[in-house]
Amino acid sequence: DVKVTQSSRYLVKRTGEKVFLECVQDMDHENMFWYRQDPGLGLRLIYFSYDVKMKEKGDIPEGYSVSREKKERFSLILESASTNQTSMYLCASSLWDISGANVLTFGAGSRLTVL
């Protein structure tokens, strides 16, 4: 079964800490995404990567950075966590051309609480 695996389901961090959220896919997908999900706001794209070492800013990149050194791994980094970054973070991957046959596959999510 194809998978997108997010390393941590639940994290609790303190304000100012550096936080790494890891995502690994085993489908040889070109595209990888990081979304943030908040009640009433739906899914908002933070960053998108279409190839190794390539990245594009999404709707809300401020306060985040990403790293894609290998095709299968896409990391989201919070350089200095703040309480307003408490949220559910969803990683997804897809083939380069998204279509009915090649939809986004999501991980189970990482729920981050910043105290």
Residue numbers at the binding site for other proteins (CB under 8 A): 9, 33, 35, 40-43, 45, 47-48, 50, 56-58, 88, 90, 92, 97-100, 103-109, 111
Q: With b meaning 16 or more CB within 10 Å and e meaning fewer, what string describes 58-82?
A: beebeebebbbeeebbbbbebeebe
- Least separation in angstroms between residue 87's CB and other proteins is 12
Task: Select 75 or 107, whichever has its Cβ closest to other proteins.
Answer: 107
Residue type present at position 99: S
- Least separation in angstroms between residue 103's CB and other proteins is 5
- Least separation in angstroms between residue 85's CB and other proteins is 18
Task: Select 18 or 52, whichever has its Cβ closest to other proteins.
Answer: 52
Distance separating the N- and C-terminal Cα atoms of the chain: 36
Burial class (CB in 10 A: 0-12, 13-18, 19+), 34: buried
